[in-house]
Each structure stands twice: as structure tokens, then as C-alpha cells.
Chain A
């Protein structure tokens, strides 16, 4: 879309910081975020789960007040501040209200008279294509139709800015695609009164398909890592080389190390035993190694192709790739993943040999696993309560992350048979299970 139209700013965020939790286990969720949203553009906020993008969205929506920093709404020509509306991932429809009543909800809150309310709501329902379903209840509708109702409800209050929180991720691929194209049609034809859209997503292709500007959000803590302008004309073609090049570029940026962050191994925050690790299935890791090892990749694959081939979201692929890098089974560079010789041996080995290799890698490169094994070896009874390790971890991270990290290492450790874990007694031991 040509950028001839005026681009006045609508919302300006400056130095926004927000913490999650209180006291000792406080996590920095947003760190010095600066952001401007202008008129006549669709902006995408792209990042992994837990990167704070939902928090940022809710700060703009006014549902949350950030601890520090400023969220400023720039008054328009008529002197009024722009209004904001939101579409939810889970649709958030009231089950006991009909479609018409759901759409009228915002107007009702604004004390709009009943006749006007009804007219406007019917017009909005017509616009998104649910004519005839006004008296239906949400439980009678499919997922795509429910999201259309959510969209109508958000649009009927004539907001200047539309916020969308992963609006299509709860839908199946075909329905999501239909809704995306319908939304883009409405936008391009100017049939919506909305001046700007901010869409939060973890789907890189969706972002490139829809947005004029993409802000890549890094996690832990969240901040804007990169800003990418998308100049491709609408309608965009997924198979267009320029499109694919952009997707590759974004993958690369998301795996690149932010220079300011000081990490020892891989891309995990924290060092030593305080490394925050994601819970990843050992089966999935083995599968990924086998996939990259086999044809057509033969040990080297671009992340975008791999995601495409395996139908994986970045939230699923990245933790696996990073774990492999941590254990020196792979190298991540640019937008590519390359298997090390150790990984290629792993792919060719049988179950026992694989376990042995995995155990070796785990003890060599994952400090927490090393630590647990050492403590168990030192104690005469070879038994240690898990509580002890969890407490140690909680000195460096929040209780939720501590539990998740310990879970991840427990899972890998059990697979590698370097220790055993008993859930009843909540303890680690060197014995074989009784």
C-alpha cells in the first residue's frame, strides 16, 4: 500500500517498564520499550510466548498500568484522544448473550439509546458477514464465526486503534486464512472506521502477510529488538521470493544474539545452574535431529524451511533448536541450523548408544544436571530432596521458572538415566526405580 496517506502518530510509548510478581521473585517483563503507532498502518508485534507482548498490548488497552514509563494517546484533530478496542485469542464472547447482544455490549456501556445501538450492531454484523446469525448463541457457532463476532464487537464502537491479541491462533489453518484475507479486504477497501491496527502474533508468515511494519520483540526481558518495514504491495503472495526472503530475514533476527545480553552458552538467560531452560521432549529432540540429518537437508537446514516442513510454530521450534545448541548437537547461525558431527552420530545410533551420548552431552554442557548428579554422588545415601534444588534456583529466578527449569532437567536426566526422580517423595536418587 502506498504510504501517501497521512501518518500522524496515534499512540506513543516511551521507556515503558513493567515487573511481574512482587518482592523477591520479581521478573522484569518489559524493559525500556519505545514504540509509536501511526495512522493508516497495520503494525505487527512478533515474539515468542512469554516475551511480554500481551503485557504491552494490555498496557496500550488501558487494562494495565505499567510500573514505569508513559503511554501517551495523541489527541486527534477534534481534540479527543483516540479510542481503543480489543480482539481476543479466546474470542471472549458471553455465552448467555446472543450475537446481537454481544456486539451491542460496548455500545450499551456507553449508554447509546437502544434503537441506535441495534442499527449500528446490525451494520457491523453485516460487515463481517454474519448476517442471519443475530439471534444465535455463541455455543451454536464455529470458532471462525465466534472470532467474527469478536471483531464486530470491537469495531462497532468506532475505535481509532484496533488491538488484536493473537486473533487467529485458536483457529484451524483454513479458517484463519479466510479470516485474515477478509480482514485485509475490509482494511484495504477502507470499509472499517479504524485508523490503525496492532496485531500481536507468534506466526512469522502471518506477520509478513498482514503488516506494514513488524516489531520483533525479544524475550526475557521484553524489548523491541528490531523494526522491519514491509513494503510489498497487497495482496501479498507467500511464494513470492521477496516474501520468503523477508521471512528468512526475520528468522535470522530472532535467533541472533542481542549484543547487550551477556550469555555463556546458547541463548538462554542466566548462567551456570541458573540457566532458565525450557521443557522440551527428548522424543521431539531426537525427531528433530533425525529430520535435519535426513534428506533433503543432510545436516543443514534453514529454520524457515524446517518450520514449514514440520508445521511447527516458532514457540515449538526455537526451544528445541536452542536446547540442541546448548548440548552441542547443533549450531545456530543466521537463519540456519547445522548439526554437529556428534549429532550425526546420534542419528545413526541405536537406542542404548543414543542414551549414552545424550547422557554425556547432558553432564558436560548442562550445569544443573551436572550439579544434581554431583550432589547425589557426594551424599552417602545417594538421595537428595528436589526442594533443595528448587530453592537454589529460586535465588536466581521466579518460582515458576525455577519449577519449569527443574522439570526440564529432570525429564532429560531420566531419559539419560543419570538419576531417578520420585514424585511422591519429591526427591532425586541414583537408584533404579523400585
Chain B
């Protein structure tokens, strides 16, 4: 029940914060409704005074994309979980979409969105938001789907026994159960999004160059003008923004979501957030969330209600229905493949396709070598840190921040170094691909090492297990599942990064390494759609093959043998 009481001191603080926040949102949003010509009249300028405004616009874009991802997740994942037929299409589709290089998509989506709203900034904004959305939505959808499928059977039986209607069941059981994993994935998505923000705000597609006001454009401009100071300002702004939304948005949400944790023991480590405590002590703040709660109540009021037992009816699978469905799917897949091949074949031939395949192999070689090198360096360090709780506590957030930090900011330095020392771009541009993604290996290995049970370590110590034997029988098996998770994420991220890492520029200097990423980047810049399509298709194939042939079997092995249950 909403009761209006006299506000207290804490309310005043919260009020100030929220009003400031609302004003910021309005300020940022008014720039979106302008016509496109505005961008030419007020182009992006490297003046530090404008930086807060640009940071605001970028943050708004990222949160808009996060909101869109959340809606997408709730709709699509629920559909996939409830209907087996829908799941058959949705799950593989999500899997493929996850593997497709997002930056490769930009070419097509920008044209599409600009066509939707010709002459207005809104079109380009939507394109940028969509690009960020495609980097955030898939892992959230998967996590939600997994949660829906793994609801504990006894709670499911209680819901069905009392005849909870579908809406009520969703709000009382499914959504709360899935919330902790969803929140964690939202944080991961948010940090992964920064990489694409930088790449999606300054877009050159053929003859069209659009720069939206934001930190990404700032950086692109700074790189073009070889302005070190400007790059420094941008890095600072990013750090501030990340700190702000972490403290004001994500930490409170994590603290709030702790109540949904499905563990039967009260954990001693409850996540703390000063902002959450602040909000809880206010009296008027619940009024703010009244619309959301009201929506929930409305939904519950409207549903026809149950009270009847719900029996699971196992419909006998009709063979004809099954076959018809499979045939329909097969036909759709073949049709799609045919369209793509037709589109590509208009201007290219098989020789081109083979050449692209060769480039793909080259990039794959780079990714493999880099993952191996990064593992060799970071696994020992990660294990050392993980085994010392004090260090782990301090360094893991740092590693997570580094993973979130968009590495493309540092690329110009690499270009300078390569040009100065006349190094071969083919070899020395490669490390850039893994610059941002190696941290995934590090923080996962830290997590894995700190999860090795103390009694195993004590037993090893007592029997004098040292050196290579200790690594082989204690440390490596212990961290293996975590390592595989980290390496899988790192390798996927590296493929994506190759598009911006194999062709880098600094002012007028343009360096290029031969590989699939460079191919796609060049084709995008030239507006050569068939080549872009071919490049993306080949890269997606490589990533999917990698996943199926390498990571999944490794993961299955880790689950079967090395799980310490």
C-alpha cells in the first residue's frame, strides 16, 4: 500500500540525485530529435568542455541498448522455453548471431536505419543503439532461457498444484529465479558494450561518414588528428562514467537481487552497496517504483485466475506434424543460404571465395597462437593471485575493469611503435586482437584458483607435491573449467576484434595485416556489400566451427571429469 509519510533527510539526498539524473536524461534526449543537418552545423569538437555532454550521450545509448536487450530477452527466451517448436528455431539462431562479428553488421544496419528515418539523427542513433544491442542481447537471452529450463522441480510442482496461472507463475517463480543470473549477465553485457560504442559512433560506410556526438566519435577524431591529450581526456571520461554507473546502478541492483539467490543457507557475504542502503532508507522512493509495481498488479488482476490443478498433458507426437515442421525449417534454411550465395555471386566468383577462406585461416592461426601465448603468461599469474585471497580480492575487480575497457583506445600507440621501428604489421598488429580479451582468461583463472578446495591444497602440501607435479595434478585440473570459459570468451572476442585490429590507422598512417578482419574492414570502408557479406559469412563459419569442434568438447570433458562436486 502506498502511504505518504513525511520525508526524512535521506529522502533529500535521494531527491537531489534523482532530479539531477532526470535532467541529464532530458538533456541527452533532446539532441536525438534534431534533424541530421545538425551534425554538420555542430560537428564533434575536441574541446574538453564538451566531453561531459558526449559522455552523457554515449551512456544513454548504452542504457537504451540494455533496455532493448532486456525486453528482447524476456520475450524471446520465454518463447523459446515455453514452446519447443519456437525453441528449435530460436536457439540455433541465437547461437549463430552470437558468433557473427557485430562490426561486420554495421554496414547493413546503418543503411537500413538511416533509410527508416531519412534526414534525421534518430536513424543513425538507432543504428548505433542497435549495434550495441547486438553485443549485449545474446548472452542475456541464453542465460534467461537456461534459468527457465532449470527451475527446481518441487517449486514447479507447487505452482502447478495450486493452479498458478501462467502470468502469476512467471512473476512469482520464473522471473525471480532467473534474476540473479540475468543481473550478472547484464553487467557482463554492459562492460562488453564499450568496445562497440567506440566503433559504432563514427561510421564510415562508403561515401557516407556519420559521427554522432559521443565518446566514440571523440576518440575517432582524436586518432585522426593525432591528439594524445584528447585520447587521455576520453579515457578519463570513460573511467568516470564506468565508476558512476557501477556505483549508482549496478551495485544497488546486485544488492537487491541477492534475495532471489536460490541457496538454502544465508550466506555470510552479502553484496553491499551504499547507494542501495541509501535508497532503502528513504520514505518517498517507493513512490517512484509505484508504476512498475502497479504494472505488475495490473497484470495479475487481469489474468483470469486459476485455482485449478494443472496437469501435464504429454501430447503424442504426431509424426506427420514433426516431419512437416522439419521440412519447413530445412526449406527455409536452404532458401536463406541460396539468397546469400546469389547475392554474393553477383560480383564475385569461387576464386574470391577461396581467397577469403585462406585469409580466414590466417586469422584463425593468429587467434590460436595468441590464445596460447596469453594462456602461458596469464594462467600462472592468475593461479598465483587466486591462491592468495587478499590479492584476489583486490585484483579481480581490476581485471574485470580491464576486460571492460575498450582496447581500441590503445591501438594508435601500437601504430606509432610499429611505424617508428619499421616492424612487420602482419606479425606485430596481431597482439592488438588479444589486448582487450586476454583479461577474460585472467579473471576466470583467478576465480578458478580461489575455488580450489582448501583441503585439496592442504593434502598436496602435506605430501610434498611440488613443481610440475603440483601443476599437473592440482592446479591445472582445478582451474580447467574456468579456464575454458575464459578462453572461449577471449577467442570469440578476438575474432570480433580482428576487424578493427588488423587494419589500424593513426592520422594518415594506415597499417594493415593480411587477414579476414582487414578484408572486412576494407570492404566496409569501400561500401562493397557483396565482399562484406562474404567476409562475414566466412568469419561466422569459422567461429561456429571453433565452438563446436574445440570449445564444446573441452567443456564437456571438464564437466565430466574435472568437476569437484
Interchain CB contact under 8 A, B311 and A62: yes
> Is A106's CB under 8 angstroms from B162's CB?
yes
CB closest chain-B residue, reference A139: B266
Interface size class of A (residues with CB under 8 A): 20 to 34
Asked if B266 and A92 sit within 8 Å, CB to CB, the answer is no
Nearest CB to that of B267 among chain A residues? A139
Given that A86-B157, A92-B155 are known contacts, is A109 also in contact with B264, CB under 8 Å in the complex? no
Q: Is B164 an interface residue (CB 8 A)?
A: yes
A111 pairs with B162, CB closer than 8 A: no
Inter-chain CA distance A140–B259, complex, in Å, is 12
In the complex, which residue of chain B has the Cβ closest to the Cβ of A90?
B154
The reply to whether the CB of A268 lies closer than 8 angstroms to some CB of chain B is no
Do B154 and A109 touch (CB < 8 A)?
no
CB pair A64 B312 closer than 8 Å? yes
A-B contact count (CB 8 A): 80
Task: Mark each residue of chain A from 92 to 124: 1 if its CB lies under 8 Å from any CB of chain B, else 0.
Answer: 101111000000011011110000000000000
Contact of A109 with B157 at beta-carbon distance under 8 Å, contacts A64-B312, A65-B311 already known:
no
CB <8 Å contact, A95 and B260: yes
Residue B307 is within 8 A (CB to CB) of chain A in the complex: yes
CB of A137 within 8 A of chain B? yes
Contacts of B154 in A (CB 8 A): 88-92
B163: chain A residues at CB < 8 Å are 109-110
Binds A, one of B88-96, B132-140, B165-173, B515-523: B165-173
Q: Is the CB of B155 within 8 A of A94?
A: yes
B262 interface residue (CB < 8 Å to A) = yes
Among B158, B163, B165, the one with the most A-chain Cβ atoms within 10 Å of its Cβ is B158
Complex contact A96–B176 (CB within 8 A): yes
Give B250-303 interface residues, CB cut-off 8 Å to A: 259-266
A63 part of interface (Cβ distance < 8 Å): yes
Residues of B within 8 A of A62 (CB): 161, 309-311
Inter-chain contacts of A157 with B (CB < 8 A)? 162
Digit string of A131-162 for contact with B (CB within 8 Å is 1, else 0)? 00000011110000000000000000100000
Q: Does B306 contact A (CB under 8 A)?
A: yes
Q: Which residues of A have CB within 8 Å of B155?
A: 92, 94
A309 to B496, CA, bound (A): 66
Say yes or no: B157 contacts A96, CB within 8 Å: no
Q: Within 8 Å of chain B (Cβ to Cβ): is A61?
A: yes
Given contacts A65-B311, A96-B259, A139-B263, contact A110 B158 (CB under 8 A): no
* Contact A63/B312 with A92-B158, A105-B172, A137-B259 known, Cβ cut-off 8 Å: yes
Interface pair A63/B160, CB less than 8 Å apart = yes
B306 contacts which of A61, A92, A109 (Cβ < 8 Å)?
Answer: A109
Report chain B residues within 8 Å CB of A314: none
* Nearest neighbor of B257 in chain A, beta-carbon distance: A96
Judging by beta carbons under 8 Å apart, are B161 and A111 in contact? no
**Bound form: Cα–Cα A62–B309 in Å:** 6
Q: Are B173 and A94 closer than 8 Å at their CB atoms?
A: yes
User: A61 touching B263 by the CB < 8 A rule?
Assistant: no
CA distance A89 to B263 in the complex (A): 17
B9 within 8 A of A: no
- Report B97 CB to chain A, min CB distance, Å: 32
Residues of A within 8 A of B261 (CB): 95
Contacts of B265 in A (CB 8 A): 139
The yes or no answer to B313 lying at the interface (CB within 8 A) is yes
1/0 per residue, CB under 8 A from B, across A26-43: the answer is 000000000000000000
The reply on B305 being an interface residue by CB < 8 A is yes
Known contacts: A65-B313, A94-B172. The answer to whether A109 contacts B158 by CB under 8 A is no
The answer to whether A63 touches B162, judged by C-beta atoms less than 8 angstroms apart, is no
Are B158 and A105 in contact, with the CB atoms below 8 A?
Answer: yes
Which residues of A are found within 8 Å of B164, using beta-carbon distances? 105, 109
| Residues of B in contact with A, size category | 20 to 34
Q: How far is the CA of A183 from the CA of B264 in the complex (A)?
A: 25
Decide: A64 and B311 in contact? CB cutoff 8 A: yes
Chain A 168-224 residues near chain B, CB threshold 8 A: none
Describe B's contact surface by its main secondary structure: loop
Q: Chain A residues near B172 (CB, 8 Å)?
A: 94, 97, 105
Given the known interface contacts A92-B154, A105-B172, A109-B306, the answer about A138 and B264 at a Cβ–Cβ threshold of 8 Å is yes
A154 → B minimal CB distance (Å)? 9
Nearest A-chain residue to B303, judged by Cβ: A111
Q: What per-residue 1/0 map shows which CB atoms of B143-183 lie under 8 Å from chain A?
A: 00000000010110110111111001000110010000000
| Candidates A63, A91, A137, A139; contact of B157 at CB < 8 Å | A63
**Minimal beta-carbon separation of B546 from chain A (angstroms):** 26
Question: Contact partner of A109 among B162, B259, B311, CB < 8 A?
Answer: B162
- Decide if A384 is an interface residue (CB 8 Å cutoff): no
Q: Does A85 contact B (CB under 8 A)?
A: yes
Q: Bound complex: CA of A106 vs CA of B157, how far in Å?
A: 12
Pick from B160, B162, B310: contact of A105, CB under 8 Å: B162
- Who on chain A is nearest to B161 by CB? A86
A276 at the interface (CB under 8 A from B): no
Contact of B168 among A88, A94, A95, A109 (CB under 8 A): A109
In whole angstroms, how far apart are the Cα atoms of A10 and B162 in the complex? 19
In whole angstroms, what is the CA distance A2 to B312 when docked?
Answer: 40
**With A and B bound together, what is the CA distance between A162 and B313 in angstroms?**
23
**CB distance A108 to B168 under 8 Å?**
yes
A84 within 8 A of B: yes
Residues of A within 8 A of B305 (CB): 109-111
CB distance from A378 to the nearest CB of B (A): 31
In the complex, which residues of chain B have a beta carbon less than 8 angstroms from the beta carbon of A92?
152, 154-155, 157-158
Q: Which of B157, B158, B306, B309 contacts A84 (CB 8 A)?
A: B309
Q: Is the CB of A85 within 8 A of B161?
A: yes
Which of A105, A106, A140 is B266 in contact with, Cβ under 8 Å? A140
Give the CA-CA distance A88 to B154 in the complex, in Å: 7
Q: Is the CB of B157 within 8 A of A88?
A: yes
- Distance in angstroms from B315 CB to nearest chain A CB is 12
* Contact between chains at A96 and B260 (CB < 8 Å): yes
Interface centre among A88, A91, A109, by most chain B C-beta atoms within 10 angstroms, is A109
CB <8 Å contact, A95 and B309: no
| B176 surroundings in chain A (CB, below 8 A) | 94, 96
**For window 53-95 of chain A, which residues contact chain B by CB distance below 8 Å?**
58, 61-65, 84-86, 88-92, 94-95
A97: B residues at CB distance < 8 A:
172
Measured between C-beta atoms, what is the minimum distance from A376 to chain B in Å?
26
Output the least CB separation between A162 and chain B (Å): 12
Q: A140 to chain B: closest CB distance in Å?
A: 6
B259 surroundings in chain A (CB, below 8 A): 95-96, 137
Determine whether the beta carbon of A110 is less than 8 Å from that of B307: yes
How far is it, in angstroms, between the C-alpha of A157 and the C-alpha of B172 when the chains are bound? 18
Q: Closest residue to B308 on the A side, CB-wise? A: A62
Pick from A65, A89, A95, A157 the residue with the most CB of B within 10 Å: A95
**Distance from B171 Cβ to chain A, minimum over Cβ atoms (Å):** 11
In the bound complex, what is the Cα–Cα distance between A154 and B335 (angstroms)?
55
Which residues of chain A have C-beta atoms less than 8 A from B168's C-beta?
A: 108-109
Contact A111 B309 (CB under 8 A): no
Q: Which residues of the other chain, B, contact A139 by a CB distance below 8 angstroms? A: 263-266
Q: How far is the CA of A86 from the CA of B155 in the complex (A)?
A: 12
Residues of B220-278 whose CB lies within 8 A of A: 259-266
User: Are A109 and B307 within 8 A (Cβ)?
Assistant: yes
Query: For residue B163, which residue of chain A has the nearest CB?
Result: A109
Complex CA distance for A64 and B310, rounded to whole angstroms: 9
Chain B residue nearest in CB terms to A67:
B314
| A residues in contact with B309, CB < 8 Å | 61-63, 84
Complex CA–CA separation, A109 to B176 (angstroms): 17
Shortest 7 CB-CB distances between A and B: which pairs? A62-B309, A92-B154, A110-B307, A106-B162, A111-B305, A109-B162, A139-B266
* A contact set with B: CB distance below 8 Å: 58, 61-65, 84-86, 88-92, 94-97, 105-106, 108-111, 137-140, 157
What are 15 A-B pairs at a CB distance below 8 A? A63-B160, A63-B161, A63-B312, A65-B313, A84-B161, A84-B309, A88-B158, A95-B259, A95-B262, A95-B263, A108-B168, A109-B163, A111-B305, A137-B259, A139-B264
Known: A65-B311, A92-B152, A94-B173. 12 other contacts (CB 8 A): A62-B309, A62-B311, A63-B157, A64-B311, A65-B313, A94-B155, A96-B176, A96-B260, A97-B172, A111-B307, A137-B259, A139-B265
